A = this chain, B = another copy of it.
């Protein structure tokens, strides 16, 4: 094949940029424009497109509407994407209320926690006891979950999610969960990201000295 994860991820980035361009009134784009916006080379943009049979006009670039339609077809389109949040602590609650999701057609349909004080099935976004998770995942056909439980519970809750039928997990717990057969896991480790920033800076500095 060749349609690796990286390509799919880039396609989604192109789509996001294109939607912004459309709202600005653009009608067409060149591979050059997209390349600049996403931070890749124009050749790669064209290659990514051609890999999925998306073509443009030799001199006129790509029609914005066409392109977005095609990308939606490939990426899974316009349906509202339903997600649950498991672990309603600080970060979990913040994500449940995050306004940026609506624009991307992402809807959080429920939260789950073990703390009885947090349970509130009548809230706009209901918060349920975690024991109800398997039932809700099945009846609502939930495919993707955001995992924001403490580190100590993360592995166990991840297993529970997979057992219930969840196929994609966005993990914020500071533990590396591994993608398995049929389950895609993305790990976001904020402390590690900060550490990496500090390391890279330190490195950039010593590089600078070396070149002086």
Query: How distant is the Cα of A194 from the Cα of B166 in the complex, in angstroms?
Result: 13
Query: How distant is the Cα of A184 from the Cα of B187 in the complex, in angstroms?
Result: 20
Q: Is A63 an interface residue (CB 8 A)?
A: no
Q: Is A209 an interface residue (CB 8 A)?
A: no
Contact B101 A191 (CB under 8 A): yes
- Which residues 131-159 of A sit at the B interface, judged by CB distance below 8 A? 143-144, 146, 151
Contact A12 B90 (CB under 8 A): no
A38: chain B residues within 8 A (beta carbon): 176
Query: How distant is the Cα of A190 from the Cα of B170 in the complex, in angstroms?
Result: 9
Provide the A88-110 mask, 1 if CB < 8 A to any CB of B, else 0: 00110111011011011010000
Query: How distant is the Cα of A195 from the Cα of B106 in the complex, in angstroms?
Result: 8
Once A143-B201, A201-B167 are accepted as A-B contacts, the answer to whether A192 and B12 lie under 8 Å apart by CB is yes
Q: Is A83 an interface residue (CB 8 A)?
A: yes
Query: How distant is the Cα of A199 from the Cα of B105 in the complex, in angstroms?
Result: 13
Contact B98 A12 (CB under 8 A): no
Q: Is A202 an interface residue (CB 8 A)?
A: yes
Contact B184 A197 (CB under 8 A): yes
Q: How far is the CB of A82 from chain B (nearest CB, A)?
A: 10
Q: How far is the CB of A168 from chain B (nearest CB, A)?
A: 4
